[in-house]
Chain A
Amino acid sequence: MAIIEINGLVKDFGKFRALDGVDLAVEQGEVHAFLGPNGAGKSTTIRCLLGILRCTEGSVSMFGKDAWAHAVELHKRVAFVPGDVNLWSNFTGGEVIDLFLSLNGGKANEEKRAKYLELFELDPSKKCRTYSKGNRQKVALVAAFASDAELFVLDEPTSGLDPLMEKVFQNSITEIMKEGKTVLLSSHILSEVEKLADSVSIIREGKIVESGSMADIAAKAHGRTLEEFFLAEYEGK
Chain B
Amino acid sequence: MSNNFARLGTYLWFLCRRERIISPIWIACIAGLSALFAGLYPSIAANDAEIYQLALTMTTPSMVAMMGPVYGMEDLSHASLMAQECLVWFLVAAAIMNIFLVNRHTRVDEELGRLEMFRAMPVGRLTGSLATIKLAFGVNLLVAAITTLAFIVLDIGGTTAAGAFAYGFSIGAVGFLFAALTLLAAQIFSTSRAVSAFGFVLLGVFYIMRAMGDVAENALSYISPLGLGLKVEAFYSNDVMPLIVLLVEGVVFVAIALAIAAVRDHGSGVIPARAGKAHASRFLKSPLGLAWRLSKGTSLGWAAGLFLLGVSYGSVCAEVDSFVEGSEMMQQFIGASATQSLLDGYVAVIFMIMSMLVSVPIVMTVLRIHSEEKRGRLEQVLSKAVPRVRLYGAFIFIALIESVVLELMLALGLWVTAGGQLALDVVVCASLCYLPAIWAIAGIAAVLVGFLPRLTALVWAVFGYAFVAMYFSKMMELPDWMLKATLFGNIPQLPVEDFTLVPLVVLTLVAVAFFALGLARFRTRDILTN
In-complex Cβ contact of B277 among A87, A103, A125 (8 A): A125
CB of A54 within 8 Å of the partner chain: yes
Q: Looking at the complex, which of B315-323, B325-333, B371-379 is the stretch in contact with chain A?
A: B371-379
* Contact across chains for A102 and B383 when beta carbons are under 8 A apart: no
Q: Looking at the complex, which of A72-80, A181-189, A229-237 is the stretch in contact with chain B?
A: A72-80
Interfacial chain A residues near B289, Cβ < 8 Å: 99
* Contact across chains for B284 and A104 when beta carbons are under 8 A apart: no
* Contact across chains for A92 and B278 when beta carbons are under 8 A apart: yes
CB of A36 within 8 Å of the partner chain: no
CB B520 to nearest CB in A, in angstroms, measures 14
Interfacial chain A residues near B294, Cβ < 8 Å: 88
Which residue of B has the minimal Cβ distance to A44? B529
Give a binary string over A45-65; 1 marks a CB under 8 Å from any B CB, 0 the rest: 001001111100000000000
* Contact across chains for A95 and B529 when beta carbons are under 8 A apart: no
Main SS class of interface, B? loop
In-complex Cβ contact of B380 among A54, A86, A91 (8 A): A86
A225–B469 Cα gap in the complex (Å)?
72
- List CB contacts (< 8 Å) of B378-420 with chain A: 379-387
* Contact across chains for B380 and A85 when beta carbons are under 8 A apart: yes
Interfacial chain B residues near A126, Cβ < 8 Å: 275-276
* Contact across chains for A105 and B191 when beta carbons are under 8 A apart: no
Interfacial chain B residues near A125, Cβ < 8 Å: 275-278
* Contact across chains for B382 and A76 when beta carbons are under 8 A apart: no
CB B52 to nearest CB in A, in angstroms, measures 52
- List CB contacts (< 8 Å) of B439-487 with chain A: none
Interfacial chain B residues near A37, Cβ < 8 Å: none
* Contact across chains for B275 and A52 when beta carbons are under 8 A apart: no
Which residue of A has the minimal Cβ distance to B281? A95
Which residue of A has the minimal Cβ distance to B286? A102
Interfacial chain A residues near B17, Cβ < 8 Å: none
CB of A90 within 8 Å of the partner chain: yes
* Contact across chains for B384 and A54 when beta carbons are under 8 A apart: no
Interfacial chain B residues near A52, Cβ < 8 Å: 379, 382-383, 526-527, 529
CB A201 to nearest CB in B, in angstroms, measures 20
CB of B337 within 8 Å of the partner chain: no
Number of B interface residues at 8 Å Cβ cutoff, please give it. 38
Count contacts between A and B, CB distance < 8 Å: 110
Interfacial chain A residues near B385, Cβ < 8 Å: 72-73, 75-76, 103-105
Interface centre among A51, A80, A97, A103 (most CB of B within 10 A): A103
Name the interface size band of chain A.
35 or more
Give a binary string over B280-309; 1 marks a CB under 8 Å from any A CB, 0 the rest: 110011110110011001000000000000
Main SS class of interface, A? mixed
* Contact across chains for B524 and A95 when beta carbons are under 8 A apart: no
* Contact across chains for A103 and B276 when beta carbons are under 8 A apart: no
Interfacial chain A residues near B380, Cβ < 8 Å: 80, 82, 85-86, 100, 140
* Contact across chains for B384 and A86 when beta carbons are under 8 A apart: no
In-complex Cβ contact of A94 among B278, B287, B384 (8 A): B278
CB of B20 within 8 Å of the partner chain: no
* Contact across chains for A47 and B529 when beta carbons are under 8 A apart: yes
Interfacial chain A residues near B275, Cβ < 8 Å: 125-126
Known: A73-B385, A76-B385. A92 touches B379 (CB 8 A): no
* Contact across chains for A72 and B386 when beta carbons are under 8 A apart: yes
Interfacial chain A residues near B381, Cβ < 8 Å: 103
A54–B382 Cα gap in the complex (Å)?
13
CB of B19 within 8 Å of the partner chain: no
Interfacial chain A residues near B285, Cβ < 8 Å: 98-99, 101-103
CB B167 to nearest CB in A, in angstroms, measures 40
Question: 7 nearest interchain CB pairs?
Answer: A98-B280, A102-B285, A92-B276, A103-B384, A94-B278, A80-B383, A86-B376
Residues in B lying within 8 Å of A, measured CB to CB: 111, 191, 193, 273, 275-281, 284-287, 289-290, 293-294, 297, 375-377, 379-387, 524-527, 529-530
Some 27 contacts from A to B, beta carbons below 8 A apart, are: A47-B527, A52-B379, A52-B382, A52-B383, A53-B526, A71-B382, A78-B383, A80-B380, A80-B383, A82-B379, A84-B530, A86-B380, A88-B293, A90-B297, A91-B276, A92-B278, A95-B276, A98-B284, A99-B284, A100-B384, A101-B285, A102-B280, A103-B286, A103-B386, A126-B276, A127-B191, A127-B276
Residues in A lying within 8 Å of B, measured CB to CB: 43, 47, 50-54, 71-73, 75-76, 78, 80, 82, 84-88, 90-92, 94-105, 124-127, 129-130, 140, 153
